[in-house]
Structures are given as C-alpha cells and as structure tokens.
Amino acid sequence: MNTLTKHLSYPEISDESVAEYLRSNPDFFERNLTLLSGLKLPHRTTGGAISLVERQLDVLRQRNTALEARLRELVEVARENDRLATRIQTLALLLMRARSREEVIDILDEQLREGFSVDQAALVLFDSVPGLAQGHRQFVRVVHREDPAIGPFKSFLQSSSPRCSRAREAQRDFLFGPGTDIQSMALVPLGPRSEFGFLAIGSRKPDHFQPSKSIDFLARLGELIACALSLR
C-alpha cells in the first residue's frame, strides 16, 4: 500500500471539548510555545491577523477600560452621596432649631432652592395639619385630602414610598403651574400613607427622576420632614 496516499481519519472534536481541555490544562501553551507563536486570529477592526497573545492583550485592554469607567462612575456616585449626606445633615440641624411648622416650611423651601439646587419643588400639605396658613406662599399647597385636584396622585398617596417618574401633565400643572418646563419628578410621602401630605421635586431633565433611580435619599428626606412637622 502506498503510504503517501493513505488517509488517516480522526474523530471529530467539538469546540466545547477543546475549550474544556484548555481549561483543564492551563499550561498547554507553555509546553507548546512553537504552537502559541504560530497561532493567528483575525483582527476585528483591521481585518488582518494577530497572534493569540496580541488578542489576549487586546481583550485585557478592553476589560481594563471598562473597569476604569466603572470605577470612575462609582467614585462619582460616592462623591454625590457624600454631598447629599452633608446637605441632609445641614437640613436636619436647621429643622431641629425651628420653633413652628411655619418655620419648618420656610427652612425647607430655602434649603431645597439653595442647598439642594432643585429646579422646582412644591410642598402639598393636608388641611388636617394644624398651624398652617392657607396658600400663603407659592411653595406650599394646602388642600383637603379628598380634594379632586389631587386625584392624579391617588395611587401614590396609598403608598408609603417615594416615586420617581416622568411628569404627567395633570400632576405637573397642579404642582408647578401650567406651562412649566418640568419633565420628570419625585414624589416623597410625608409620614405613613402621606399622613401630612407629600413633597414634589421637579427636574427639567426627562431622565433625572426615573423608576430605576435609588429612593434611599428621598425616603430619608421624607422621614426627616415628617418628623419636623409632627413635633410642632
């Protein structure tokens, strides 16, 4: 038999089998350096070929870039949380010194505008809360809990958690007035089932307050304001 024309048959080997073998033998390429240097892989951007080592370096660079971006994001979140914590502490100290509900409202109005730099805010209080002047400032809305004007907030008032969403027209007009440019907002209950009312914070950015936004800070803010209102 002419051995030059003899064909050898090999069992078919799947990609999974090769991958499993390499995972089980991480030193395979160290034992076969000539094979490693000869392997070429297509380059995704240039269309040429690069070595396996170069491809590994490319993958590692991409992972490193992604990790650096994630780290920068986490650092910025930490800084913002630190700034919010400082503002909350300042607000808490000021509210502790307030001598009446009227003063509590004045402090809250000022701090939201200057300390927290919100685009717009409205404090909706129920007329069952004593010591309030009806409609004495733009920041405050004093209403009856069954007032039809707060019908668009019915489902929110049944909960005890802040809510972030795009601003609905009926809600936006009641809180901030017709023609306002508020695009998204956060609703913060004051007390269980909005016992005292609720705080609305509006933003001109459509995606600033969205359902996925963390509500921890908003919940703490609501608890703080409710506590201040309950003691005066």
pLDDT of residue 84: 84
CA 111, CA 88: separation in Å to the nearest integer?
10
CA 97, CA 103: separation in Å to the nearest integer?
9
Nearest to 164 by CA among 189, 186, 194, 183: 186
pLDDT in tens, the chain (232 residues): 444 444 445 567 888 888 888 888 888 877 876 776 666 666 555 555 555 666 667 777 888 888 888 888 888 878 888 888 899 999 999 999 998 888 999 999 999 988 888 999 999 999 877 666 555 467 988 898 889 989 999 889 888 899 999 989 999 999 998 888 999 999 999 998 898 999 999 999 998 998 888 888 899 999 999 999 887 6
The answer to the question of residue 147 being in a domain is: yes
pLDDT of residue 39: 65
Nearest to 199 by CA among 115, 90, 120: 120
Burial classification of residue 97, based on how many CB atoms lie within 10 Å of its CB (0-12 exposed, 13-18 middle, 19 or more buried): exposed
Domain of residue 176, CATH code: 3.30.450.40
Ramachandran bin of 35, using left for φ above 0, alpha for ψ from -120 to 50, beta for the remaining angles: alpha
CA 133, CA 137: separation in Å to the nearest integer?
9
Contact 98, 105 (CB under 8 A): no
The answer to the question of residue 37 being in a domain is: no
| Residues whose CB is less than 8 angstroms from the CB of residue 69 and which lie 6 or more positions away in sequence, other chains included | none
The answer to the question of residue 58 being in a domain is: no
The answer to the question of residue 88 being in a domain is: no
Q: Which range of residues forms the domain containing residue 114?
A: 98-230
Number of domains in the chain: 1
The answer to the question of residue 24 being in a domain is: no
The answer to the question of residue 92 being in a domain is: no
The answer to the question of residue 34 being in a domain is: no
The answer to the question of residue 193 being in a domain is: yes
Three-state DSSP state, 214: coil
CB atoms under 10 Å from CB of 215, counted, come to 17
The span from the first CA to the last CA of the chain, in angstroms, equals 107
Three-state SS letters, 124-166 = EEECCCCCCCCCCCCCEEEECCCCHHHHHHHHHHCCCCCEEEE
